[in-house]
Each structure stands twice: as C-alpha cells, then as structure tokens.
Amino acid sequence: MARSISYVTGSQLLSLKRRPNIAIIDVRDDERSYDGHIAGSLHYASDTFSEKISNLIQEVKGKDTLVFHCALSQVRGPTCARKIVNYLEEMKEDSGIKNIWVLERGFNGWEASGRPVCSCTDIPCKDESA
C-alpha cells in the first residue's frame, strides 16, 4: 500500500492531538531539551532516526496517524516522515499506520502562534500540562 505524506496546520493539530490514535514525533536533536516541545510528543532525534525506526513502530502501536515535526518542518521532519513511509512499505505486516503527516511551520511555528509548549524532562512526555 503506497502511503503519501500530507501536511497539517498547527490549528488542525491542536484540535486533533487529544485523539488517542495520533502520535506526534519530534525529530529535533538537542534543541528539544532547551526549547520545550509539544506536550505528549515522542522524541526520536533525526540524527539517530534510521536506527530507531523499529522502536518507534513499537511505541506507536495502536496509532493510525503519525505527525512529524522539527524546528521548521522543512528538512528533518519531512525526511524522517519519508523514512517511515519507506520502512512501512518494506514491512511485510500491517502496522495499522494509515496517515503520515508533517506539521506545517514546525515547532517554531507552533510556539510562535501561542500554542501550548511543554518544558518537562519526562521521557516520554506525559502531557500532564496541557
């Protein structure tokens, strides 16, 4: 099954992020630790993303939508989204993942628009502040 990558706006994600079938994947590297993050997001740094794809697939079991982002969602976010699409196409079993999205304008756009940002150091983020 060929999957394509779509973009989602911050407003759309804000209204959808509470749904239990969505996982937000932050692929920024070190900046997550000092810039904060979208509450409830999972962290899979882009520099080690390829080696950890199978871990991500296990962590998002039961989710059908993955939303990727980096700082601006211009390079790292879309690149990691493409890597997951390629990985899923090579898998023999159905992961249940139907939608691969990239957050328009990334974390910086999310934060600049006044949307909620979490600065916890919990791994994974427990999303208790939102």
User: Catalytic residues, which ones?
Assistant: 70
Alpha-carbon distances of 110 from 9, 20, 49, 117, rounded to whole Å: 9, 20, 22, 8
DSSP string across 23-73? EEEE---THHHHH-B-TT-EE--GGGHHHHHHHHHHHTTT--EEEEE-SSS
